[in-house]
Amino acid sequence: MVSFECDYIAGAHPEIIKRLSETNLESLPGYGMDHYTASAQQKIRKVCGCPDAQVELLVGGTQTNAVVISTMLRDWEGVIAADSGHVSVHESGAIEYSGHKVLALPGKDGKIEAPALKRFLERFYSDVTHDHMVFPGMVYISYPTEPGTLYSKSELEAISEVCREYSLPLYLDGARLGYGLMSRSSDLTIRDIARLTNVFYIGGTKVGALCGEAVVFTKGNRPEHFMTSVKKRGALLAKGRLLGIQFDTLFTDDLYFRISRHAIDMAEKLKDIIREKGWEPYMDSPTNQQLILMTEKEMEALGKKVVFDRWGINDDGRTIVRLATSWSTGEEDLEVLREV
Amino acid sequence: MVSFECDYIAGAHPEIIKRLSETNLESLPGYGMDHYTASAQQKIRKVCGCPDAQVELLVGGTQTNAVVISTMLRDWEGVIAADSGHVSVHESGAIEYSGHKVLALPGKDGKIEAPALKRFLERFYSDVTHDHMVFPGMVYISYPTEPGTLYSKSELEAISEVCREYSLPLYLDGARLGYGLMSRSSDLTIRDIARLTNVFYIGGTKVGALCGEAVVFTKGNRPEHFMTSVKKRGALLAKGRLLGIQFDTLFTDDLYFRISRHAIDMAEKLKDIIREKGWEPYMDSPTNQQLILMTEKEMEALGKKVVFDRWGINDDGRTIVRLATSWSTGEEDLEVLREV
Amino acid sequence: MVSFECDYIAGAHPEIIKRLSETNLESLPGYGMDHYTASAQQKIRKVCGCPDAQVELLVGGTQTNAVVISTMLRDWEGVIAADSGHVSVHESGAIEYSGHKVLALPGKDGKIEAPALKRFLERFYSDVTHDHMVFPGMVYISYPTEPGTLYSKSELEAISEVCREYSLPLYLDGARLGYGLMSRSSDLTIRDIARLTNVFYIGGTKVGALCGEAVVFTKGNRPEHFMTSVKKRGALLAKGRLLGIQFDTLFTDDLYFRISRHAIDMAEKLKDIIREKGWEPYMDSPTNQQLILMTEKEMEALGKKVVFDRWGINDDGRTIVRLATSWSTGEEDLEVLREV
Amino acid sequence: MVSFECDYIAGAHPEIIKRLSETNLESLPGYGMDHYTASAQQKIRKVCGCPDAQVELLVGGTQTNAVVISTMLRDWEGVIAADSGHVSVHESGAIEYSGHKVLALPGKDGKIEAPALKRFLERFYSDVTHDHMVFPGMVYISYPTEPGTLYSKSELEAISEVCREYSLPLYLDGARLGYGLMSRSSDLTIRDIARLTNVFYIGGTKVGALCGEAVVFTKGNRPEHFMTSVKKRGALLAKGRLLGIQFDTLFTDDLYFRISRHAIDMAEKLKDIIREKGWEPYMDSPTNQQLILMTEKEMEALGKKVVFDRWGINDDGRTIVRLATSWSTGEEDLEVLREV
């Protein structure tokens, strides 16, 4: 059996395990005050081209979204997100748990469109009853999106421009950031993202780490007393070293980008196999996740050798199957798939 | 100037003011323990044909929705509502403030449709990732709906049936309940509503009271320690008599229904005037609120003699103007409108 | 039977009922946009000597505390209150419901002491772990306090000074403000209170109104988008006129203070009766609430003619009985008490 | 420099690092569905003598307290804890963030006393205003307590008995459980704890793991849809293997207890050194944390060779210094301390 179930089936990149092992008995202060965390923060600031950015390490994606959104929104505000966005659908209501509404905007292939965003905002402010509504206080996008699509540079610039016009912080969920940036279709760099957003996170969990997401407040705009707010949400890791060492490793010698590129190379080969097999794509994806439509019978056959994910249900009743590559996918895994 | 701005422009029905005045110096216990509240509760149980129902009096509509929904939902649940529902749009995120998501279902003329509800539930439970989502824990509908439409008995039965099948409590927001039930198009009685829902409220604020909504837990299903939960939400009125006396009056000699019927009679005459004037209806409404489309220029003319509400913006840019009648609308008000 | 159970046993001052009745059919806009509310706000600003203050009318005391505290605190902050404070004990956790801790400070006769407050703050900031704690973000006091004691001007000045030193807003809960200010022991005026606090509320429910509390943001420091935050908490009254007319009446011709003084006069007579009867005071109280210690047997006797409140339990097992006067207490009520 | 700052200065026990390394490339499902987690759960059930217990793995202590308490309390309830309890003081208000009050009970040396608990409960229920208060809904204790003291078996039995009498679940925070159980003063076993509590957690972060706490619902009383509630709180770890492998290792061949015993052995030697040095203990502690009183000057001297924790401030102004041993403390560390 090989697994293409998701991009978090393996542990950590071996280099990370090695570093965790080597540093294991070193005495370090807790709560992110250790020098590995400081080093990781410095490397991330550098790769983002943001000397004044603040970098904070958190444990997981939903946690990161909840912490960032709820500490940046003001009482009367909610967060705009695509209706298919992770915060809209797949976080068990974590944003609402913080007392804030997710203002769902109909997306297209997982993406918000700048004109639709602008229209939404214009309508909100021209509605005379808007004091009885939830004010838009932030825009959330994901890159890549949940179904694996990408914003082009011009699309992101357009969204960023609307946000600036309405003084809304733009937040980019980069749970799979590496796989997006290394996609052959991407025309964005991490510096572009840092420039065009107010805050974003660099996903570790799905890109080589055991756990961990690095939040970048790109304009020195980290909320006041952030550590206390993180603790209040049960999200402060005592042994911050676990996050610091991982991100320090990922941002040494471009490891994060190298392993992301590998996942994309594997995804391109996976697409070839999908074509060879005649499997029907649900949609075209330029990143590490490929979505295909399958009947129960086809899934039964596939399931004999391959672990995959039932990502959703298509309008015609077929299942949307997700096959994901990652930093840990090997050529031999693809060969098994080719042979099913 | 006459006002058709909304159905809460006047104080209370004169009979209520009279009763408040007569009972004013009576010594009564607080927090709804007074005999007027007990009497109101008993009369409401009787009119609903629910001897075992529990009746609780709260101050306002958004408060009532937040209290009822947040005390009935369990931690992992959200409330299903039409995307145009009051809880979805016009409560400044009061439901989310309680930590729960509003699961917006695309509505039709403000109504949820039973087949769409059923489809939503089927999809939810067949989605293998649903443990990462917000569970549907209640269905919210309004009667009349926000734009003034009505569920027919068969529509309500169908929704109630789906709710029963999925063990979901059905909650009906009756902010304008009287105007719905007295509509010439309604084939429902308050007993039908009590029978087909698990909880609903009888709106007082918009139907003759200074303030107040009467929540009916139709199946003896009031949440445990409800008074404490109400207090926790800042919603416990010290002088419960203010609510008790009002509802006792409204449910004496059918006052609630008589004044509601009057508002409907006035609305029918209003519709005649709209037709006479050639104003374009935004949609047909069988209740006390009439929505028409107007340009800025038309509104300017109307605004010289009439106070009206800008209810929303139409796709073509025109304003959706709301003209509402109520228990307090007089023939003379309609005459002013006819003459503009 | 006569009732000394609490200061909210009667309806409203007759002048209020008269005004509600007279204005009843006037068409007025909702949500506090009516001219009676504007007039009340103006009169309150004037009586407070604060031309720039913002005045907001809410329905009840717990609601007011929750709204004010939760909109003024920042995410990482809690509110300091006496351990006997209303927000600490008798609001069913309404402050915690908003996600904020009440930092209870041991009080003396219901009062916070400035030196103890200062010591608490010094300790907090000198504690190296304070980032893992709840930051003090506001100080809450009540005037009169829950057991009926009063801060002297110098005590209030000292607390205000500590608050200023630590940049903490000082919030005064004036549920019974009139009875405090009119006490023969009070050396404070409403202008002193406006000057020495950042926000306070003038209690209506217990001082002549059917419901209603007037919040005064004394330094133009009302939180942004306050109406939306109020709505979000289910606390926005549709017919704001009900509050506006009441406060406009209470602040016309000094009605608020006149009826408060009456309650104090009655309380002084009540104290005479207590002395005559040889009942044991639980503590000395200069305001409208008198606390006495009684055995079950004594309460049984008293209860035959008088409704009273079981306020708490003394260390020796006896009940702390509360007898309260109010604007509505008459000489004849006292006579009944004298005769028991 | 050697560090006695806390018990989480080192990474993980080498055996854990070894297992993480060996299993690193294995394909495993996420969210705790992997076989290592299942194995850890089984081993923990066995060691607790609770075949029907449910075991859930979470990341950190504050997170665990917030998740357990907020999913077990009902809307109208709060949690009773010692005033020095971790949830009372050092979690930045994480419990209040969930909308629930911590009902602080004056503790003695960090412990709740059964008679005081019972008195508190009796008073609560005999207070006629208790519907306006927060109901006690759970009792929280820590073992060892924050200052390092221990409940004896008879003390725990007495508390457990009071809880049973009032139908209150008893929750034990075992952040340092191993160090408590292996203390030479302890007369409790993990089976006793499982028997006498309704839920407790076995701390991993401070006892050999990189992160992780194992919650044991001892009576099959895990809240419904727990995974969704965990996700809602941002606490669901995608790579559950990280927790599963660690706890599976800790509960293989008694590793958890062996390394805990080592820490206690080191603490006993540390106590000898404290005595030798003539340092003044703040209080006697039978576990791995020793608290001593020091002036700034003494701390300056100590700080040249030893990293320590400023735990608090004594009434006389001296600092309460904490020196902690752990599984990672070596004899050579103690020698450095002896030589300062």
pLDDT tens per residue, range B124-177: 999 889 999 999 999 999 999 999 999 999 999 999 999 999 999 999 999 999
Q: Mean pLDDT throughout A108-117?
A: 97
Nearest to A231 among C71, C132, C236 (CB): C132
Structure tokens belonging to residue B62: 């958004």
Quote the CA–CA distance of D203 and D181 in Å, as a whole number: 12
Look at residue B284 in the predicted model and tell me its pLDDT.
87
**Chain C nearest C-alpha distance from B97 (Å):** 7
- Mean pLDDT, to the nearest integer, of D217-243? 98
Nearest to D96 among C100, C131, C313 (CB): C100
Q: How many CA atoms lie within 13 A of B275 on its CB side?
A: 7
Element (H, E) at D245: helix D241-250
pLDDT bin (cut points 50, 70, 90) of residue B16 is: very high
Instruction: Spell out which residues of chain C touch residue D98, defining contact as CB-CB under 8 Å.
Output: 99
CB A243 within 8 A of CB A212: yes
| Side-chain half-sphere CA neighbours of C62 within 13 A | 28
- Specify whether the CB–CB gap between C321 and C302 falls below 8 A: yes
What average pLDDT does this structure show over B72-101? 98
**In the block, which residue shows the tokens 């772990």?**
C129
Q: Is the pLDDT of residue B195 over 90?
A: yes
- Written in H, E and C, the secondary structure of chain C is CEECCCCCCCCCCHHHHHHHHHCCCCCCCCCCCCHHHHHHHHHHHHHHCCCCCEEEEECCHHHHHHHHHHHHCCCCEEEEEECCCHHHHCCCCHHHHCCCCEEEECCECCECCHHHHHHHHHHHHHCCCHHHCCEEEEEEEECCCCCCCCCCHHHHHHHHHHHHHCCCCEEEEECCHHHHHCCCCCCCCHHHHHHHCCEEEEECCCCCCCCCEEEEECCCCCCCCHHHHHHHCCCCCCCCHHHHHHHHHHCCCCHHHHHHHHHHHHHHHHHHHHHHHCCEECCCCCCCEEEEEECHHHHHHHCCCEECEEEEECCCCCEEEEEECCCCCCHHHHHHHHHC
pLDDT at residue A252 tops 90: yes
Q: What is the pLDDT of residue A34?
A: 98
Report d(CA A56, CA B72) in Å as an integer. 38
Question: Do the chains contact at D92 and C76, CB–CB below 8 Å?
Answer: yes
Under DSSP, the state recorded for D133 is S
> Which residues is B135 bridged to in the sheet?
B77
A293 bridge partner residues: A280, A320
> How far is CA C138 from each of CA A71, C119, C226, rounded to the nearest angstrom?
19, 15, 18
Yes or no, beta carbons of A132 and C231 under 8 Å apart: yes
What are the CA-CA distances from residue A303 to residues A269, A276, A333 (Å)? 20, 18, 14
Q: Using CA atoms, how far apart are residues C179 and B63, in angstroms rounded to an integer?
A: 30
Q: Does residue D146 carry a pLDDT above 90?
A: yes
**Chain C touched by D340 (CB under 8 Å):** no
For residue D53, pLDDT over 90 is answered with yes
CB atoms within 10 A of CB B132: 20
Average pLDDT over residues B20-41: 97
Q: Which of D132, D229, D232 sits opposite B231 (nearest CB)?
A: D132
Terminal Cα distance for chain A, rounded = 11
- The distance of D5 to chain C (nearest Cα, Å) reads 13
pLDDT given for residue B239 in this prediction? 98
Q: How far is CA B334 from the centre of its chain?
A: 24
Neighbours of C326 (CB within 10 A): 26
- Does residue B313 carry a pLDDT above 90? no
Judged by CB atoms within 8 Å, which residues 272-331 of D form the interface with C? 310-313
Q: Residue D5 above 90 pLDDT?
A: yes
When pLDDT is averaged across residues B66-73 and rounded to a whole number, the result is 98
Question: Taking CB atoms and an 8 Å limit, are C96 and D99 in contact across chains?
Answer: yes
Contacts of A135 in chain C (CB under 8 A): 225, 228
pLDDT above 90 (res B312):
no
pLDDT at position D136 over 90: yes
Per-residue pLDDT, B23: 98
Both tokens assigned to A25: 């008995």
Would the CA dihedral through A69, A70, A75, A78 be positive or negative? Answer: positive
Mean pLDDT of the A317-323 span? 94
User: Residue A284 pLDDT > 90, yes or no?
Assistant: no
Closest by Cβ to C101, choosing from D96, D127, D311: D96
Taking the CA atoms of A136, A142, A147 and A152 in sequence, report the sign of the dihedral they define. positive
Question: Are β-strands D170-174 and D199-203 bridged in parallel, bridged antiparallel, or unpaired?
Answer: parallel
CB–CB of C237/B211 below 8 Å? Answer: yes
| DSSP 8-state secondary structure symbol assigned to residue D149 | -
Q: Output the 3-class SS for chain A.
A: CEECCCCCCCCCCHHHHHHHHHCCCCCCCCCCCCHHHHHHHHHHHHHHCCCCCEEEEECCHHHHHHHHHHHHCCCCEEEEEECCCHHHHCCCCHHHHCCCCEEEECCECCECCHHHHHHHHHHHHHCCCHHHCCEEEEEEEECCCCCCCCCCHHHHHHHHHHHHHCCCCEEEEECCHHHHHCCCCCCCCHHHHHHHCCEEEEECCCCCCCCCEEEEECCCCCCCCHHHHHHHCCCCCCCCHHHHHHHHHHCCCCHHHHHHHHHHHHHHHHHHHHHHHCCEECCCCCCCEEEEEECHHHHHHHCCCEECEEEEECCCCCEEEEEECCCCCCHHHHHHHHHC
- Residue C62's closest CA among B61, A240, B232? B232
| Residue A258, amino acid | R
Is residue C106 exposed (0-12), middle (13-18) or buried (19+ Cβ within 10 Å)?
exposed
User: Would you mind telling me the total number of residues written for chain C in this entry?
Assistant: 340
Across the range B91-114, mean pLDDT stands at 97
* pLDDT value at residue C313: 86
CA A231/CA D94 separation, integer angstroms: 7
The answer to whether A147 faces chain B, any CB pair under 8 Å, is no
Inform me whether the C-beta atom of residue D96 falls under 8 Å from chain C C-beta atoms.
yes
Does the model's ipTM exceed the 0.90 cut? yes
- CB spacing of B223 vs D75 below 8 angstroms: yes
- Which residues on chain C are in Cβ contact (under 8 Å) with D87? none
Residues of chain C with pLDDT under 50: none
- Percent of chain D topping pLDDT 90: 96
Q: Which of A151-160, B308-317, C212-221, D185-194 has the lowest mean pLDDT?
A: B308-317
Sequence-ordered strand ranges (E) for D18-156 = 54-58, 77-82, 102-105, 135-142
* CB contact burial D59-73 (16+ within 10 A = b; e otherwise): bbbbbbbbbbbbbbb
Burial (0-12, 13-18, 19+ Cβ within 10 Å), A273 = middle
Neighbouring residues of A49: CB distance < 8 A, sequence distance ≥ 6:
A191, A194, A195
Q: Answer for the pair D36, D23: CB distance below 8 angstroms, yes or no.
A: yes
What CA dihedral angle connects D143, D144, D150 and D153, to 10 degrees? 30
Residue D221 identity = N
What does the alpha-carbon distance between residue B187 and residue B195 come to, in Å, rounded to a whole number?
Answer: 14
Report the pLDDT value the prediction gives residue D55, as an integer from 0 to 100: 98
Query: From CA D98, how far away is CA D180, in angstroms rounded?
Result: 29
| Cα-Cα-Cα-Cα dihedral sign, residues B188, B191, B192, B197 | positive
Q: Establish if C19 touches chain D: CB-CB under 8 angstroms.
A: no
Task: Return the structure tokens found at A54.
Answer: 């603040």
Min Cα–Cα distance to chain A from B315, Å: 10
* Secondary structure of residue B319 in the 3-state scheme: strand
Size of interface B-D (CB pairs under 8 A): 46
A136 interaction partners in chain B (CB closer than 8 Å):
none
What is the structure's pLDDT at C21?
98
C37, two tokens: 């509310």
Residues 160-199 of chain C whose Cβ lies under 8 A from any Cβ of chain B: none
